[in-house]
Amino acid sequence: MDNCPLQVLTVPTAPYPDQRPGSSGLRKKVYVFQSRRHYLHNFIQSIFSSIDLRDRQGSTMVVGGDGRFFNQTAIEVIVQMAAANGVGRLIIGQHGIMSTPAVSCVIRKYKAIGGIILTASHNPGGPDGDFGIKFNTANGGPAQEAVTNKIFQISRTIEEFAICPALRVNLASLGKQMFDLENKFKPFTVEIVDSVESYANLLRNIFDFAALKELLSGENHIKIRLDGMHGVVGPYVRRIFCEELGSPANSAISCVPMEDFGGQHPDPNLTYAADLVDAMRDGQYDFGAAFDGDGDRNMILGKHGFFVTPSDSVAVIADNIFCIPYFQQTGVRGFARSMPTSAALDKVAKATKIELYETPTGWKYFGNLMDAGRLSLCGEESFGTGGDHIREKDGIWAVLAWLSILATRRQSVEDIVKDHWLKYGRNYFTRYDYEDVDLDVACEMMEDLEILMVDKSFVGQRFAVGDKIYQVEKADNFEYTDPIHSTISRNQGLRIIFSDGSRIIYRLSGTGSGGATVRIYIDSYEKEHIFQDTQVMLGPLATISLKISQLHNRTGRSGPLKSFT
């Protein structure tokens, strides 16, 4: 600690109109943060100013990021501004790296008032990629809409920010660093922590690590392949799966975090995790998984690349939930899924008589239910699965859950999933993404589509494709009343529900940094024809979805940039 107190400055600034946080924080292209004067500073000050001064003064906050380009630059600014804004202690992951699930864990462990996560999740990194800032509150979960609205309102009128520009922190050195500031009675403390240990210790108390070690390194061990996609999870995978559970070091691939994710798109799906899919095809590996940039999403594969949809994944975990010791102790309070996610989980909830919640997209909705003791397990079709141990989706937790099921049942991934379909029937599900659509075009299309759907004559209409006929039973714009706070979230996605339970859903996504992403979700339940090709089974509904929306004509697109099956 330097003997000379560091100066705190108040710097004039001007607001920007475009700092409204989406469902996963503020995401923009890197050049926006680099080229617009005080753009980063404005948003960070807006976060601090949204916290009551009495709560902020002397408080503890957590900072971590996925290691993408601009991460360290942003952390330096956050440290300087946290000190100037009265925060007493910052806990930061070594080298500025900490997965989103680990940040949630550390917030809860140290009873921090919140945390700042620097990530654009599964979006590309590097100088030409995306950068994001997300604020999590004291429960460890994403800030509620009332908080993000407050941050946005402050950002629109901000006139100045506080900063301690001479403060320099060493992100590589574990331990405490203390700084005297002028006009401050207590020193400001930065604590650099092992990014993995607190989170790994939490997982040790959830899963049977001895059984998992036997599965991965015992006499009859299975072979696994885990793809970190050069995101934040690399150190977590090596420490937990290789060093602790005994899986060979070469079972972890692309596990060195890189600022540009190795030039790849860190999105764990069949398109962007193609290297893993190819490696699984020849059958030498029994289990495969990929993780996204910040470690909260996952993709599960079985031998020969058998793909487990995220919707099926959460349903299978739910049906085998007592393979996880944590739930043997706590019991199961409830299940939940986001509205666009297939209804596979609903079948398990009904059979087990466990309450099911259908929420809008966004993990914050699950967090409310967890905080109220109503929810134990939840998932989203966008490759997110998690439990109530933290308040974020959790890729490594999902993989350990699957391995716990394998350790208990001693079956292959494919056999477990097919047994599930035989027991409950199968929800065929896919999602089509039309990315970087002109925002005005996308909004106009959605408005016209809603006008069409809410017309009384729409319900009852029949759509025929080949020998398949679908009759509209219900059409609406999904809204959700939070059972805890009674708040209402409107305009959460256009739903067409047919008489056989099949669904077509249209949404504009809020997780990109460019133009709009139009998403079409298709979900169809089959009790008997459960081993067919997904695209063949959903082909008629896909045709109907395009006919109703006129999406190709309206956007000028001939097909989606990405599809997820």
Q: State the distance between the two ends of the chain, measured CA to CA, in whole angstroms.
A: 55
Residue 92 φ then ψ, to 5°:
-125, 140
Residue 425 burial by Cβ neighbours in a 10 Å radius (0-12, 13-18, 19+):
middle
Quickly list H helices, 339-393.
344-352, 363-371
Calpha distance 479→554 (Å, rounded):
26
Instruction: Please work out, in degrees rounded to the nearest 5, the angle formed at the alpha carbon of residue 293 by the alpha carbons of 287 and 296.
Output: 65
- Angle of helix 197-204 relative to helix 100-109, nearest 10 degrees, comes to 80
CB 290, CB 267: distance < 8 Å: no
Q: How many CB atoms lie within 10 A of CB 35?
A: 9
Question: What amino acid occupies position 439?
Answer: L
Question: What amino acid occupies position 199?
Answer: Y
Calpha distance 43→502 (Å, rounded):
42
Q: How many CB atoms lie within 10 A of CB 370?
A: 26
Active site residue: 59, 121, 338, 545, which one? Answer: 121
Here the tokens at position 407 are 């350790």
Number of H helices, E strands in the chain: 19, 27
Closest CA to 116 of 171, 66, 164: 66
- Which strands form 516-526's sheet, in the order they lie side by side? 462-465, 468-477, 494-498, 503-509, 516-526, 426-437, 562-564
Q: Catalytic annotation on 121?
A: yes
DSSP string, 299-321: EEEEGGG-EE-HHHHHHHHHHTG
Here the tokens at position 441 are 């075009």
Calpha distance 48→135 (Å, rounded):
10
Closest CA to 135 of 145, 123, 125: 145
HSE of 186, CA atoms in CB hemisphere, 13 A: 11
Write out the catalytic residue numbers. 121
